[in-house]
Amino acid sequence: MTRVHVVVPEGIDDPARPSGGNVYDRRICRGLAERGWEVHEHGVPGAWPRADATGHAALRRAVRRIPDGAVVLLDGLVASAAPEALVPEAHRLRQVALVHMPLGHRPPAGESGAVRARERDVLEAATAVVTTSGWARRRLDELYALPPGRVHVAEPGVDTAALAPGSPAGDALLCVAAVIPDKGHDVLLEALATVTELSWHCTCLGSVDRDPVFAGGVRRRARDLGLDGRVRFPGPRTGPELHRGYASADLLVLASHAETYGMVVTEALARGVPVLATDVGGVAEALGEGRDGTRPGMLVAPGDPAALGAALRAWLRDAGLRERLRRAARERRASLRPWPVTASVLAGLLAGAQR
């Protein structure tokens, strides 16, 4: 039987803290098991990638228990932050780093040198590196100039879903993202404030606990802008509740400053819901095109409320635009990659790492 050890942050199934990376990890573990792999999961505690000494010690213990010659798939939130635990074990383990977002892409101010040096050490020691978009592979090459053939892409999959009916007015806006600075909710609010004379309502599904200070400021800003009652922050949703959120949406709005791929983009498209997003990272890859080359949505520059507001105004006022984008979204829906294909790609990469 083919065997893999998977090292992930503890609590990846916590419904209060959903994330694209957690969903990806869980679906890959499930998909490998369905393909006959023996999957041994090791959850390590800590606020990765900024885990404390206790978290790093737990990682060292977990890795040391893995037998010689084993293939180990390492979530990048853990791996890229822990060269001390992983590099010394690289001579006996076949380490495959799964990098959802390079830590070196936008490191904290004043820490870029240290963050990138630590991530580089881990990735140079790895047998292989897997990331989730062509953009991320190019970014890793820019940052670390890894050997040719070291970095591979396994795009996220998506589940099939029923078409969202949509409304004639197109006024049901949906944002699915944790309320943290990188997701740009502050920019979204400023953009929404420019179209208050039009009919719309916006539901922001996502954790408000990961950065309570930022989330509190966003909610206060919504009140200050007079958007209270039109913008809702009901917290994270998973499973059927999340499905209902997509099903009732006309347009997904994502104002992120950084995205490796943007799984919420393909989750919306799987229901034929067009997308208005910032043109960052791999979002354009996730968005793709309809059969005639029409994008199933609109892309604007990040951090630009005026551009985002103008795109919202165009969507809300132009029925023809809404129809074109909905048609393109339904066409793009047919070409989305299902999760079993992603698991198959990972299985092939892991099998290659065993050789």
> Which pLDDT tens digit goes with each residue over 193-241?
999 999 999 999 999 999 999 999 999 999 999 998 899 999 999 999 9
Residue 142 CA: distances (Å) to CA of 28, 95, 122, 130, 162: 27, 22, 16, 16, 40
Q: Which two tokens stand for residue 156?
A: 């996220």
**351 half-sphere exposure, CB direction, 13 A CA radius:** 12
Residue 1 has pLDDT above 80, yes or no: no
Q: Which two tokens stand for residue 79?
A: 């791996």
Domains 3-157+337-353 and 172-333 share a fold: yes
Give the strand order in the sheet containing 3-9.
Answer: 38-44, 3-9, 71-75, 94-99, 128-131, 151-153
Give the strand order in the sheet containing 201-205.
Answer: 231-235, 201-205, 172-176, 251-254, 275-278, 297-300
Tell whether omega for the bond before 49 is within 30 degrees of 0, i.e. cis.
yes
Q: What is the CATH number of domain 172-333?
A: 3.40.50.2000
**Residue 38 Rama label (left phi>0; alpha psi -120 to 50; beta):** beta
Residue 281 has pLDDT above 90, yes or no: yes
Q: Give the separation between CA 225 and CA 104, rounded to whole angstroms.
A: 35
Contact by Cβ (8 Å): 273, 286? no
Residue 355 has pLDDT above 80, yes or no: no
Contact by Cβ (8 Å): 179, 162? no
| Residue extents of the structural domains in the chain | 3-157+337-353, 172-333
| pLDDT attached to residue 291 | 81
Q: Which CATH architecture has domain 3-157+337-353?
A: 3-Layer(aba) Sandwich (3.40)
pTM, whole model, 2 decimals? 0.94
